[in-house]
Amino acid sequence: MAKSAETFKSRIFHDLDFDKPGKQISYLRVPQSRDGGAWSTVEIPIAVVKGGKGPTVLFTGGVHGDEYESQIAISRLARRIDPGSVNGKIIMLPAVDLPAALAGRRMCPIDGRDFNRCMPGDARGSFCEMLAHFIESMIMPQVEVSVDVHSAGNSMEAALCSIMHWVDDPKTIKRTQTLTETFAAPYNVVFWGVDETATVAASAERHGALSISTEIGGYGRVRPDAVRIAERGLDNVLKWMGIVEGKPDTTQPDGGQTRQMMVRDQRSYLFAPSDGLFEPTFVPEQQIKAGELAGYLHFVEEWARLPQPVEFPIDGYIWMAPGSGRVKKGDVMAVIMQEFTDN
Ligand SMILES: [Zn+2]
């Protein structure tokens, strides 16, 4: 492939041709000089499958290493997809932050960064910043739809959902919600006013792509139903875009469709009032009311100190529940979602 100015600027090298028909299974080689390996690289798995002239979709997983469903679902899709059945281009990165994925951690063990806070990156920056710069400058300009699959990580468990940012254009909101109903997780959560400009999802939006993420699962384990939702969701998106033939299967166990929810502002978050051991009263999806008991903070190091009751700030349903037991003052112990309304 001819080297564009951007390829030259990036320190990452690879043997992919993003315009070549067929299936390419390869690696992005991120330079990582170290003791014993002056020209060492970290090889980030990537697959590009192309056929015909249809649209381009990006599927990313393992942006956080302690979220596993995406790593399984996207790897499996890359192995099984037949390029002869593809009209368009599918770019797949099943383990974006591979060092974090191998360590089972949210943060990258090489530079200590959260990859999903590194976009648009820096060609001369740290490991995550170099990789973010490549995705921002080389991949995102190609992409019409981006699905970044997350599953809440070690510290939280989520109601099985897709998520999307609130953007000011009502048509984009509607079309993105249609995409979430195509992905067909049980819930979709629309975010308002969250500072997420450095995420993969925000990078896709900057490039004019339809952009969704997910939070399917959590607690640092692999949920079988979440793997199935991810696999069906990715297949559905390919069918919806016309990249593969077929009709999306969007059925839900209750016979309905994806429930449109929202997390409007900071009142949706239950912050820990002090350090302690949190005993929650709730699980994901549970309906709750403002003022109800959310749980107790226990202070096991002080016999005389009674557990501190904590109340829910607003009505709604539990979107995120805590997984860590111990919390620090200011940590999020729950996030509450409400039925979506656009006024
Ligand atoms: Zn994540």
Centroid of chain to Cα 235: 17
Tell me, in angstroms, the distance from the centre of ligand 1 to residue 66's CA. 8
User: 């009505």: which residue's tokens?
Assistant: 315
pLDDT band at 167 (very low <50, low <70, confident <90, very high): confident
pLDDT band at 192 (very low <50, low <70, confident <90, very high): confident
Each residue's pLDDT tens digit, 4-62 = 444 458 999 999 999 999 999 999 999 998 899 999 999 999 999 999 999 999 999 99
User: 């281009």: which residue's tokens?
Assistant: 89
Secondary structure (DSSP) of 131-198: HHHHIIIIIGGG-SEEEEEE--TTTEEEEEEEEEE--S-HHHHHHHHHHHHHHT-SEEEEE-S---TT
Tell me, in angstroms, the distance from the centre of ligand 1 to residue 254's CA. 27
Look at residues 311, 276, 243 and name the one whose alpha carbon lies nearest to residue 50.
243
* Residue 83 tokens, joined: 């390029």
Tell me, in angstroms, the distance from the centre of ligand 1 to residue 91's CA. 19
Give the mean pLDDT of 146-172: 94
Tell me, in angstroms, the distance from the centre of ligand 1 to residue 22's CA. 31
- Over 80: is that where the pLDDT of 246 sits? yes
- Give the global pTM: 0.94
Each residue's pLDDT tens digit, 305-315 = 999 999 999 99
> What span, in angstroms and rounded, lies between the C-alpha atoms of 150 and 173?
21
Each residue's pLDDT tens digit, 207-216 = 999 999 999 9
DSSP state of 281: S
Tell me, in angstroms, the distance from the centre of ligand 1 to residue 153's CA. 6
Three-state secondary-structure class, residue 332: strand
pLDDT at 6: 47
Tell me, in angstroms, the distance from the centre of ligand 1 to residue 156's CA. 10
